Every structure is written in structure tokens, then in C-alpha cells.
Structure 1
């Protein structure tokens, strides 16, 4: 009887370890895949070997240093396995080809790494996620799925895209990463023949000079969603709460583009693009901030497009490519298009242009309750199909957005493990960018005038909008006088109005729990001196 009870007890603890993800495996640059057991004292050498030993819910901790060679994210985990850098951004993953492949993985989370090609001459792609699991067809009976890429610095491809998600993969989340410097006529993200993709809370920009590389003005869009492989399904995309800035690409590309390959079917379907901040701080000409080619059922709402943004068309290009069907059911609600210089869409031609769109290319669209600001001049009206005058609930007013002439880029300084601004995390840098360049002024014409029926439920910082939402990505919070707060009052980082750039010098001003006391506030720049919003 006692022996039976002991066996039952042992079985309980084995089950508990599986249920609660008690397994921890360690990887280090001095580890060994042959003799290592994954303990802190005897680590493994590669992430791939650790995944091959991992149980459901395990955590794989990767020590600082440079890891060279291809990493294969593989294994089928009902409870996701987390692969995490022990110290964010200090584990450098490098290869002269695709650095990370995920062809057969299920239930894997990758967090906290610095990922890049090792230099010129590398083979294509930095990260690729695709379905090679299904035995019937890509995206079929058992696809690669439930993969999360979070809080990584993904940069400097010397051949093709930074991140390619394709060939039937589904249920992929890309959250809170920093992307910069793809190569040539390719993208930060190529999302291609897949389903259920969420792209949120990331920073997308280019700064080739910061990596010691020439800028050829030849790179393509930051995000492209298309269906090159002609798969049966390419749908359900959410692109929200991202920051896009510092365009250095070609004049034929966009921050976000749906469709590209001229296929004789809808290349992308069922997409929501909301609460993104798109900054026109650079001098290089782009095609338009947003583009749709041969795609349908796409909603673009509560986004803020702000700055000079020299472009061939300021807001959008809606068109067919090759054998595409006409664009269908594209909706624009509660967005800000604001060029304070009065050159909205001037691009190379010198003539202002709001959109590029024709009746032959667009079967149906809706433009409702958006804000248009062209530095006090009338927003451009042209012979294109889509014009501000098509918006019967248009708001023509100054959104009072911050000046972009002295934009501090989110440049990562690897030697000092911090950004040029002084921040040490991607999230802190994201908050700085939003608060520095996306906040509505106190008398903004965008405040409380969004259409609630078509508004996003939250803003770019994830805050609930309420019954009278604002137009654009940022929701201006009500203000209270600092003098009305007790000295020990605390304010959550995500809820502070004008926190990052105008009240705190760096994230080091935060308390250990990620909050800030009112007495610690130090005014930076031109923020208001009498109120905080939360």
C-alpha cells in the first residue's frame, strides 16, 4: 500500500511539472549539445537542441553572447514553450543565411533577442515562419501555428526580408519588436498566404547610416500582405498600435501594402489596420502611406498619418496590379491625415495629391469621419476616385500634433545596450515615440469628434476610448491638476499623458514596479506644467 501511494505521489509531481511548466533549460555560448543537460551548471549550446529536449510549458533561458548558425524553432507544444534571452538584447543570433526558421513548430514563443545577418553576402531572409507540417496542403490539416515573436530587435538583412511568414502558417503574433534595415526590393515583413496574423506594438523604421550601410532608396514597403503562392486562404490580419517612421525606401512603396503580385484573385482579405502612428519625418519620397492592390474587406481606422511625408499620394493608393480584380470594400474611418507644411502628397511632381485611385480599379470604398489638415490650405481635390470631398462627415481642423523637424530616431546602440534617447527597452522607446510625436494638443480639432460606431475600442497605448472618442491613434485623456494629487500618488506608465518625452528624461525615472511618483516628474520640452492625464 505504501509503495502504491509513493508511486501515486511521484506521478502527481510529474503531472504537476507538466501542467505548470516547471522545466527550465539553459543555453550558453560555452554550452555543449552533446554533454550538456540544460542545467545552469551544464548548459546546452543551441536553442534548437534545447527545444528538442523541452516539455510542454518549458522555459529556455539563453545567456549573453553571440550565437552563430541557423536556429530551428521546432517541436509540438500544447502549452507554449518560451525561448527567452536571460538579459534582453544581449543574446545575439547571427548567420550568413536565414538565422531562424520555424517550419514545423507549434506553440513556441521567442523573446528578447538581437537577430540579424552576419554581414554582406548572406543568403536570403533573417527569420522565416512557414508551414511544412501539413501532409495534405500548406495550411492544411496540421499547420505550423501558435508562434509568438515578441520584444526582439530584428534588423539588417543583407538579402531579402527581415521576417517572412508564408506558406500556410497561421495564428502568428508579432508583438513589441523593433524592425529596421531590410535589403533591396523586399520588406520588413512579408506576410504571404497565411491566416490569423496579429502585428502589434512594434516599431518599424529604417536608418541604414546607423548600421554603416549606404541608403540606396530602393527598399520596399515595411509590411506587405499578399499571396504569391496562390494558396486557398490568405485572410484575417490585424495590424494595430505600431509606429512607422523615417522612410528611406523607393518611390513605389508604402508603410503598409495589401496585394502586390497581380494575381487573378483577391490577394488579401479580412484585415483591420487601426491605431497606428505613421510619421513623415524623412525627406525621401514614398508612394503613399497606405496601399491596397486587388484585395477586399479591409478597414483602416483611427490611424494618425502626420508630417510632410513627401509622397506621390499622401493618404493612399488603391489600384489593381496585373490580373487583379478591382479593390472591394475598403473602409476609412476616424483617421488623421495631417501635413502641417501644406504640401500634402506633393512628392516629386510638386502638385498636392490625396489619393491615387480610379473607378476602374476600385469597386467600392467608404470614407467617413476623418480629419484632414493641409497646413491651413484646402486638402487636395484631384481627378482621382477618392477625395476628401467624398467624406460627408469630414473634419477640417488642425489636430495640433507635435513638430517632426527634430525627430529623435529609435536608434539602437548595441555597445551601450540602450537607445540614442537613453531608453533601454523597446517598450519604453515605443512610449517615447508615441508621446513625443503622436499626442493631440489641448485644443486639437480631433478631440471627441470620432464616430463611435466605427471607432477602435482602445487607442495606440491600449487605453479604453470611452463614449466620445477622438479621431486618430491617440486618445487624449482628461486632465487633473498636479496640485490636486497627493505626494504619494502614482500613475501607470501606459496611462500618463505626455509622459515619455515631456515629463521623464529616461525610463530610469520609473519606480521599480514600472510606475512613477508625481514628485519624481521632471518636465522635458514643452509639455504642459499643470496637468497629467490618466
Structure 2
């Protein structure tokens, strides 16, 4: 074997070793011990904070911490700085239950920092009434203090008995909140409070409330599901939240106050713009509840806020069906507020009619919003007129490309809330995981009829590249959150493969696609995914074997006799 081939093999074995390190796994268990454990399956650690501290101190980057099933009481801390990233995961999805009478999970300023951590697969809640505020708290301590670059994924975060479910605040940067399920905050607080931060993405989550399902009283006093604001002025690194994206989420079953919204920008009547550069796109908002809200969307203190390709459907009901754009401090004015390619569809004909008032499309007092845009949206009010009011700044008649007509969305009667049931290991709608529940909601209630006037009629320049399920939109995109798949794919549920679940989707809604496509593609993957690290190990191993054979064969042929 010559020098070049030896060097080549050395590189490959180095790659194998590095990949093995990438896949290094440690354990946390209810019978573990942070002092005497070594993180192995036989002698696990006892807490997530203890595990992460050991990994940080031992320079174990790119590792995975598996948390074994069981109930973990007390605060779990996300600590440590990991350039390559570590993952903390419930070994069995949602079977590691994190409970506390205060914050169950925190990422706070500490000597090790809190960065490069992905936290996924847990069931997280307060342990019961009397808890201190917040279930999950990510606090930057004023900013530039090593807290950020965090991902919160595929968790059931529910039942706060005091304040928010998740608060991200005080100078934090680079946080991704994706594929989670949120329900049941307490009081005039939120599912997620995004507060004086930058570069936060909230995507592919399910938001609803179901207080009765948790044996709690529905007081109709909770606040918005998501609020984006700045409560502490310039006490931290930022004045106003900046660059926040809310995309591909499902919102449903409003049980909050009549003064709140599914999503809200600005809240605290500060003498400055509380949020700028915020994007809401590809969200599905379902008005299946009988509880009245203020409006689906609220903007009280925002600049450069874009709301595009969202679908708002159902009775809602609300005091204003689409939006409320106003200010609560006269020294600020909402600027650059844009609405493109959205569907607003109330099949009952009572758009914005609540408490005996007439129909109302928007609440937008004169002088409280400037430089706004309403273009290329679809409007339907059960065959009745879309409400317009000359005293409001924004009316549907201001939309020069307005699309009228029934989008053909399915009735929400009989909708099953997909709350988690740990006893059965399933969600109430029969789903096995959050993504499955998410896709069911989208496919059942968010897909327009093929005959909808909004199909192929979005303003392409303002449409996202993909839709709520990640399907590419193409050159003639549709309005609303869902892009109709008419191009020969049998993947009706958007999960990137073609199987029996797609047929069930088609049975419920034949407009989801062509059944012959499903028959032809059954058992196939629509899009190849990036290999997992283990896949790369396998690939490199094959390369090693092939390389060794090549080198040995070459050596056999060319090596001179000795």
C-alpha cells in the first residue's frame, strides 16, 4: 500500500472516529446520580442540567443526551456552550415528564453559558395550582451574555398555572421554536411571550386551549397565543424586538379574553415601536370555538409587519374578523403593515359580528397606521356582503386585486382537539406525534377546493417559496396557507412519503389530489432526506471497505517481490 493510499485510509478512519464522536450518547434517568454517575446507561445522571454541565466541562460537543421515561420534578437547566451543538431528547417521545412548582425548564445566564442546545420530545408543565410564574423560560439577562442559539422542538408544553407557557426575553438572540404543541396558559398571559429579542423563529407548532380537558375552569381571560413586544424599554441589549418569523403554525380553539388575538405585535403602550421586521406567513387559524376574540391578528406597536399567505377560517367569532391595527400610546404610529395573499373565510355570514353588533372586517382607527398595504386577498362571508366601514382606515374595498368567493374549506364541526394523553401514549385525535396531529388539522380544515377562485391567483412576488406543509408553490402560487398539489404527487398529507395515510386524507377530501398518482407512487418517498449521522457512518464504512479492497488489489498487482 503506497503512501497516498495510506493517507487516504487514515483520513477515512479519522472521519469514522469523528462521526462516532458525533453520535456519542449519554443518559439521564430518574434513578440516576449527578455526583456518581458517568452518563452511561448503567450509571446515568439524574438531571438535564447536571448532564449538560458535565458535557460542557468535559468538552463533549456534538453529543446526545437521552432522558429516560419517568417524572422529573424540580427545575431542569439548559447550561453549557456547544459550538457544534448538543441534543437533549426524551428517549421515548413525550414520556419524560418535566414538572415543577415554578419554572420547569430554564436557560439563564450562568458561567457556562447556554448556547448550541436542541431540546426535544418532552412533556412539560407546572405540577399544579399555586405554581410560581412560567413553565419554560429563556432569559438573556440583558443581552450578550451567552444565552441563545437554542432550539425547542417537538415538545408538549402545557398547563401553566401562573403566567406564560414559554417566555423568550431580555436580550436573547437566535432561538427556534418548532413542531411543539402548546395549550393552557393562565391569566392575561400567553403561550409564547417574545419580548425584547432578535432573530426568533416560531414554526410548525400547534396552539390551542382546552382548560376543561385539564380539569380546569375556563375563565375566558387569557391573552394572545403569541405576543411580540418589548416590555423593559432599553434596560437590555435591544429596544424593541426585531426579526421575528411566525410561519407554518396552526392556531385553534380560542378560550381567551375578548380583547386578545391569536397573534399580537406590541402590547405595553410603550413610547417606542415594540417590534419591527416581523413576518407571519403560511399559518392556519381556525375559528372553531364559540368564545369571542378581539381579532385574529393584532398590531398595536409595529413597523414593517407582513402578514401573507395565511388562512383564517370559521365563525371565529370576533369583534373584528381579520385584524385590529391600533395604538395605545399616541406618540407611536404603526408603519409599513402589509397583508398579501390571505384567505379570510367565514361560512356563517357573521364576519366580525359579536355581542349584537354588525359585521366588522377590521378595526383600524384613522391616524394609527400609515403606509399600509392590502393586496390580493380572498374574502368570503357565507354569501353575505363583506363588511366595510368608512370610519375605518383599512377596508376590504381597498384591496385592488381582491378575490371574492367561497374557498371551499371544510366545516369545523366535530373538530377533535389533539391534546396529549400520557396514559394512552397518543393524542386525542389518534395521532402518535405532534407532526401527525399538525398535518391532520391542515389537511382536514386548511385545503381549499380545486374550484376556489384563489387557486393559482396569489401575488407571486409576495408569496413564500413553500406552503404550510413545506410543499413548493411554483410559478403560479395559490392564496392562503395551503398550496394545492396538482402536479402528479400522491403525497396528500405532505409528510414526504406516499402511504396509507395519504389515502385516508384523500377519502376525507378528494380535492387533495389525484388518486391515480397515489396508486402509482404508493410506498415511495417523495423527497430524499439528508442522511442522519448513522447514514454517513454507513457510507464512510462502505468507502473504507471499497478503498481497502482497491488498495489491497492495487498492492497485490503492483508491489514488487521482497
Aligned twin of 1:431: 439
In the alignment, the residues of structure 2 paired with residue 386 and residue 19 of structure 1 have an alpha-carbon distance, to the nearest angstrom, of 58
Aligned twin of 1:60: 65
Q: 1:522 to 1:461 in 2, by over 3 A?
A: closer
In the alignment, the residues of structure 1 paired with residue 157 and residue 321 of structure 2 have an alpha-carbon distance, to the nearest angstrom, of 28
- Whether contact under 8 Å (1:491, 1:517) holds in the other structure is no
- Whether contact under 8 Å (2:319, 2:360) holds in the other structure is yes
- Whether contact under 8 Å (1:493, 1:516) holds in the other structure is no
Pairing 1:5-44 to 2, within 5 Å after superposition: 16-17=17-18, 20-44=21-45
Larger helix fraction of residues:
2
Structure 2 segments unaligned to the other structure (5+ residues): 1-9, 518-525, 527-562
Are 1:87 and 2:92 counterparts? yes
1:325 corresponds to which of 319, 332, 336: 332
SS of 1:428's equivalent in the other structure is: helix
Computed over aligned residues only, the root mean square deviation of the Cα atoms, in angstroms, reads 2.2
Worse-matched range after superposition: 253-262 or 31-40: 31-40
- Whether contact under 8 Å (2:25, 2:64) holds in the other structure is yes
1:527 corresponds to which of 499, 510, 529: 510
In the alignment, the residues of structure 2 paired with residue 216 and residue 529 of structure 1 have an alpha-carbon distance, to the nearest angstrom, of 38
Using the TM superposition, give the Cα deviation of residue 457 of structure 1 relative to its aligned residue in structure 2, in angstroms: 1.1
Aligned twin of 2:544: none
Structure 1 segments unaligned to the other structure (5+ residues): 1-8, 133-137, 481-488, 497-513
SS of 1:145's equivalent in the other structure is: strand
Using the TM superposition, give the Cα deviation of residue 420 of structure 1 relative to its aligned residue in structure 2, in angstroms: 1.5
- Whether contact under 8 Å (1:18, 1:57) holds in the other structure is no
Are 1:114 and 2:123 counterparts? yes
Q: 1:324 to 1:14 in 2, by over 3 A?
A: farther
2:499 corresponds to which of 505, 513, 516: 516
Using the TM superposition, give the Cα deviation of residue 235 of structure 1 relative to its aligned residue in structure 2, in angstroms: 0.1
In the alignment, the residues of structure 1 paired with residue 362 and residue 128 of structure 2 have an alpha-carbon distance, to the nearest angstrom, of 39
Using the TM superposition, give the Cα deviation of residue 139 of structure 1 relative to its aligned residue in structure 2, in angstroms: 2.2
Pairing 1:52-451 to 2, within 5 Å after superposition: 52-54=53-55, 55-104=60-109, 105-132=114-141, 138-140=142-144, 142-231=145-234, 232-233=238-239, 234-382=241-389, 383-451=391-459
Q: 1:277 to 1:300 in 2, by over 3 A?
A: same
Q: 1:83 to 1:157 in 2, by over 3 A?
A: same
1:320-370 Cα deviation digits (max 9, x unpaired): 013550100000000000001000000224310001012221122100000
Q: 1:324 to 1:283 in 2, by over 3 A?
A: farther
> Whose RCO is larger (CA < 8 A, sep 6+)?
2
In the alignment, the residues of structure 2 paired with residue 56 and residue 14 of structure 1 have an alpha-carbon distance, to the nearest angstrom, of 16
In the alignment, the residues of structure 2 paired with residue 490 and residue 148 of structure 1 have an alpha-carbon distance, to the nearest angstrom, of 32
SS of 2:494's equivalent in the other structure is: helix
Structure number, greater radius of gyration: 2
- Whether contact under 8 Å (1:492, 1:516) holds in the other structure is no
SS of 1:494's equivalent in the other structure is: coil
1:202-223 Cα deviation digits (max 9, x unpaired): 0000000110101000000000
In the alignment, the residues of structure 2 paired with residue 179 and residue 316 of structure 1 have an alpha-carbon distance, to the nearest angstrom, of 23
Q: 1:491 to 1:526 in 2, by over 3 A?
A: closer
Using the TM superposition, give the Cα deviation of residue 524 of structure 1 relative to its aligned residue in structure 2, in angstroms: 4.2
Worse-matched range after superposition: 231-240 or 73-82: 231-240
In the alignment, the residues of structure 1 paired with residue 44 and residue 295 of structure 2 have an alpha-carbon distance, to the nearest angstrom, of 49
Q: 1:530 to 1:312 in 2, by over 3 A?
A: closer
Aligned twin of 2:485: 477
In the alignment, the residues of structure 2 paired with residue 265 and residue 527 of structure 1 have an alpha-carbon distance, to the nearest angstrom, of 50
1:147-189 Cα deviation digits (max 9, x unpaired): 0000000000000000000000010000000000000110000
Q: With structure 1 as the length reference, what TM-score do the two structures score?
A: 0.88
Q: 1:529 to 1:374 in 2, by over 3 A?
A: closer
1:2-59 Cα deviation digits (max 9, x unpaired): xxxxxxx9xx979955994243210011111121110001111111110011121111
Worse-matched range after superposition: 346-355 or 393-402: 346-355
| Equivalent residue pairs, number | 493
Q: With structure 2 as the length reference, what TM-score do the two structures score?
A: 0.84
